[in-house]
Structure 1
Amino acid sequence: MFQILNQPYPVDDAFPRQLRKAVLIGLFVGLFLLVFQPFGLNLWETPNKAVKILGFGGISFVVTALNFIVFRQLFPQMFAEERWTVGREILFIMVNILLIAIMNRFYLAWLVGPGEDSRMSWLSMISVTFLVGLFPVTGLVLFSYISQLKKYSQAAAELPVHAHNFGGLHIPQDVQVVPINETINNTVSLAADNEKDTLTVLTEDLLFIESSDNYCTIAYLKGAQVTKPLIRSSLSRLEKQIVHPHIVRCHRSYIVNLNRVERVTGNAQGYKLHLLSGQFVVPVARQYNETLVAELKAL
């Protein structure tokens, strides 16, 4: 079980999907409380009771939106995909549920006034909410993990394998070396923000470009060695300077030379591109899946 909790899990930071999740959670909480009226709500006599109960759903929506959208934007490193796991996903959702319980308890106290909110103590309400949410949350996350893992593992196994001879570097004997596609664009020139610092490499030598804050690392072969100079530029700016059809964006932090992809694997987070006999692994964001797979099949 602990091994599963440490497995990589996809980070879904797309604003429309996160907003939709917040809306659905708010609707679920509001309608659940309105229909079943737990925590002594069935004994509560008050004008506009249905509207007040639906207010719990509104609180749930606001808390979830702040956690799923705002909090992720404020602390992006905390939700970096390379360190996000099944266990962290479960913990994050449970923290969100507990925050919903706390804020809804404040809302209940405000609705009924001092001394009238004793039907359900703070500890009881939070404990019940935690226990009610723990098992379905764990089950849903594990189901999603298994589904995504199966999907990407099977799809990756069906993709073609491309292995290459890297300028005299050792290639395992069981790997079949195939020629790189010829192209008229035999060099890539990349200019930094100041337009003075430039780097020109052969397209067949370029491996990938990785973004880090305001800098990008250019990984390419120089003879039999991998060189990784740093250049001050955004990844989007460098992307616009590349005209080679098989050097493409595959992630918000990566541009990859598909001609240098030797193997494709998959886990719950998506496809992983293996380069240079597995020395480098480049992730693929889900938004690039279709175009990248089509490019790989066309090589």
Structure 2
Amino acid sequence: MVSLFSQPYPIDDDPLRQLRRAAAIGLFIGLFLVVFQPFGLGNWQTPAKLFKIAGFGLVTFVITAFNFIVWQRVFPRQFAENRWTVWREILLVTGNILLIAIGNRFYLEWLLDEGEDSGVGWLGMILITFLIGLFPTTGAVLLSYIARLRKYTRAAAGLPVQVVDEKPPGEALPVSGPALNLVAENEKDSLTFPAADLIYIESSDNYCTVVYLKADSSGTLQPVKPLLRSSLSRLESQINQLSIARKPFVRCHRSFIVNLDRVERVTGNAQGYKLHLLGGQFQIPVARKYNDTLVAELKAL
């Protein structure tokens, strides 16, 4: 069970989807409180009662949007997909539930007239909200994890990949085709090598790591990882200018471009597909928005 909570879990980094999710949660809470009026709200006598109760949904929306959107921008490393796991997702959602309880309690105190008693104590309201939310949250995340894991594992098993001939360690596919010239933003630094030797490119901040094969002193091809100061989009544009009939270089993630001719195996986990290259030395994630493109390109190989 402990290992299950440590498994990778997808994190949504699309602000628009997060905003829609927060709106859905706020709408649900608002409607739930208006219809069922728990925590003594049914006995509350006040003008515009339903309007005020619906305000709990607005508070819920604001808090949830802040938690799902702002924290990821403030602490990007903590919310990086390669670090996100099942227990982190449970912690995020449970923490959001607690903050919603506290925020709505403050809202209730603001609504009440001076000296008026809501009938529910601070601790009671927060504890009830936490207990009500904890177990459904845990169950929902675990069920989502299992469903995503099965989906991507089965789909990955049916994807075609590059068949690499058996060769001594360090050797790779034969080199052919034109040279690839990648130029940095300063228009001075550049890399030139056979396009077929490109493995992948990874962006990080204002730099890109270009991973390609290069012969060492003994003539054996080994992966090298020089840096270029450039955006990934700029390098992608340069790659697309290659005059070749078929371009196996595909954007598979906002931070990665991969050479599909170097993909030797595709696996799946709850976060999506993983591309394995160069005997498993490199594992490249595939973002959900690029799934359809990647699958189509692999099937076209």
Tell me which interval the TM-score lies in, with the shorter structure as reference length: over 0.9
- Uncovered stretches (5+) of structure 2, i.e. residues with no partner: 216-220
Superposition deviation, residue 165 in structure 1? 5.0
Q: CA deviation at 1:161?
A: 2.8
Q: Secondary structure at the match of 1:242?
A: helix
Give aligned pairs, total. 291
Counterpart CA distance in 1 for 2:32 and 2:206 is 47
- Residue deviations 1:271-295 (CA, integer Å, cap 9, x gap): 0000010010000001110011111
Q: What secondary structure sits across from 1:190 in the alignment?
A: strand
Q: In 2, distance between residues paired with 1:167 and 1:10? A: 36
Alpha-carbon separation, structure 2, partners of 1:201 and 1:165: 22
Structure 1 residue 180 displacement after superposition: 7.2
Identity in percent: 63
Moved over 4 A (4+): 165-168, 179-182
Q: TM-score, normalised by structure 2?
A: 0.92
Counterparts in 2 of 1:249 and 1:272: CA distance versus 1, 3 Å:
same
Letter in 2 for 1:56: F
Report the 3-state secondary structure (helix = DSSP H, G, I; strand = E; otherwise coil) of the residue aligned with 2:284. strand
Partner residue of 1:150? 150
SS of residue matched to 1:194:
coil
What is the rounded CA distance, in whole Å, between the counterparts of 1:231 and 1:170 in structure 2?
Answer: 24
Deviation at 1:246, TM superposition (A): 0.9
2:229 to 215, 229, 232: 232
Question: Which residue is 1:6 aligned to?
Answer: 6
Gaps of 5+ in 1: 172-176
RMSD: 1.8
Matched, 1:222 2:224: no
How far off is 1:160 after superposition?
Answer: 1.1
CA distance in 1, matches of 2:226, 2:300: 30
Contact 2:112 2:118 in 1 (8 A): no
Greater mean alpha carbon deviation, residues 86-95 or residues 243-252 = 243-252
Q: Give the AA of the match of 1:85.
A: T
Match of 1:257 in 2: 259
- The amino acid that maps onto 2:182 is L
2:20 matches 1:28: no
Counterpart in the other structure of 1:197 = 189
Question: Could you state the TM-score of these two structures normalised by the residue count of structure 1?
Answer: 0.93
Instruction: Map 1:122-201 onto structure 2 (within 5 A).
Output: 122-165=122-165, 168-169=168-169, 186-201=178-193
Check 1:83–1:104 CA distance in 2 against 1; reply closer, same or farther (3 A cut): same
| 1:110-131 alpha-carbon deviations (Å, 9 max, x no partner) | 1013432351111111100000
Partner of 1:210: 202
Q: Distance in 1 between matches of 2:25 and 2:51?
A: 17
- The correspondence for 1:297, drawn from 289, 292, 299, is 299
| Counterpart for residue 45 of structure 1 | 45
Q: Does 1:17 align with 2:52?
A: no
Superposed CA offset, 1:67-102 (max 9, x none): 112222222222100000010001001111111100
**CA distances 1:204-227 after superposition (whole Å, capped 9, x unpaired):** 211001111111111111122111
Letter in 1 for 2:208: C
For 1:74 and 1:12, locate their aligned partners in 2 and report how far apart those are by CA, in whole Å.
Answer: 15
How much has 1:16 moved relative to structure 2? 2.1
